[in-house]
Copies of this chain bind each other. A is one copy, B any other.
Amino acid sequence: MTAQLNRRILLASRPVGDIKDSNFKSESVPVPEAGPGQILVRNLYLSLDPAIRGWMNDADSYIEPIAVGGVMRGGTVGIVVASNAPDYSVGDHVFGMGGWQDFAVHGPEGMPNKLPEGTGLPWTNFLSVLGITGLTAYFGLLDIADPKPGETVVVSTAAGAVGSIVGQIAKIKGCRVVGIAGADDKCKWIVDDLGFDAAINYKTQDVAKELRKACPNKIDVYFDNVGGDILNTVLGMINIHARISICGAITQYNATAPVPGPSNYLTLLTKRSTMQGFVVLDYQARFMEGIMQISQWLMQGKIKHREDIVDGLENAPKAMHKLFNGTNTGKLIVKIADA
């Protein structure tokens, strides 16, 4: 290796409420070396996701919190630059949890996934529509909620990276799809470009009233990324045997006090319905199935998607805010180095 340095961004302190600059710390250290059975990967692209906010808390969750003083966790696409592992060659592109840094050592356990070369698709797609984002939409909608033709599916954060794909998959499945988003241009995009049947701007419209109009047959499936009032409103409008897929709760991640739960949860009883949470990492064994199916839909033009690419690892902390203040459209990705 040359005397190159490894820039990395650490968790300096756990945020209370909104993320602040002081929660992060940057440093440059020598590039690590690949030990026996390991590979060294140069990270090219970093995925920024709402879930990262949860990992910054010292809370019992589905994954260990990021340690204070540790490198920020995140999914990455990178290129192998040194390999002591038989199945990986220099030049291979891989997807893994490379973190907020220029270089990552992987292995011998938890090796990253090799990505197919020569597909013609931009590498960023493996962090968006063909990555965890697309897979979250795929399994969270189809495995948890299993929508049937003619059913009404409501999606929150509908113009977001996950929500926009959820809605399009629901359309492919023959459902009536209503999206909730936070800006008129987002609402226009999901209806005009993505084919949603209706969209509601929760910032300017009365969500309950608009949902009643947009869902004349009430709601069979709700894919929730926000929690809070909207979840509660939807619970008040579900049909018998409705399925609510809990993917996230943006309204809670930065909260400093408990957010009220859905007081309408008892419709789960009166409507014999189910509210189920999921974590996409549990579907690892079926990722290939999801990627194959989504690729096919992509090639058939049945799924469209957008990426919001921020240049420079050093801009990752600031870019995180975009996930919570409604300013990003499409999958948020940080470009660390040229592919």
Q: Which residues of A contact B (CB under 8 A)?
A: 54, 60-62, 227, 232, 240, 246-249, 252, 258-279, 282
User: Which of A263, A267, A279 is the most central at the interface, judged by chain B CB atoms within 10 Å of its CB?
Assistant: A263
Tell me the interface secondary structure of chain A in the complex. Answer: mixed
Tell me, in angstroms, the Cα distance from A282 to B249 when the chains sit together.
32
Other-chain residue from B252, B272, B276 in contact with A279 (beta carbon distance below 8 A): B272
Other-chain residue from B249, B260, B263, B271 in contact with A62 (beta carbon distance below 8 A): B271
User: Which of A248, A264, A269, A270 is the most central at the interface, judged by chain B CB atoms within 10 Å of its CB?
Assistant: A269
Tell me, in angstroms, the Cα distance from A271 to B263 when the chains sit together.
21
Pairwise interchain contact B270-A61, C-beta atoms closer than 8 A: yes
Copies in the complex: 2
Q: Can you name the residue of chain B whose Cβ is closest to the Cβ of A63?
A: B270
Other-chain residue from B62, B249, B260, B274 in contact with A274 (beta carbon distance below 8 A): B274
Q: Can you name the residue of chain B whose Cβ is closest to the Cβ of A262?
A: B261
Q: Can you name the residue of chain B whose Cβ is closest to the Cβ of A259?
A: B263
Other-chain residue from B61, B260, B265, B272 in contact with A275 (beta carbon distance below 8 A): B265
- State how many angstroms separate the Cβ of A36 from the closest Cβ of chain B: 33
Other-chain residue from B249, B258, B262, B282 in contact with A272 (beta carbon distance below 8 A): B282
Other-chain residue from B240, B247, B260, B271 in contact with A261 (beta carbon distance below 8 A): B260
Give the chain B neighbours of A270 by CB distance below 8 A. Answer: 54, 60-62, 277, 279
Other-chain residue from B240, B249, B267, B269 in contact with A266 (beta carbon distance below 8 A): B249
Give the chain B neighbours of A278 by CB distance below 8 A. Answer: 269, 272
Pairwise interchain contact A276-B277, C-beta atoms closer than 8 A: no
Apart from A246-B266, A275-B276: 18 A-B pairs, beta carbons within 8 A = A54-B270, A62-B269, A227-B266, A247-B269, A260-B260, A261-B263, A261-B264, A261-B265, A262-B265, A265-B275, A266-B277, A269-B277, A271-B277, A272-B277, A272-B279, A274-B277, A275-B275, A276-B276
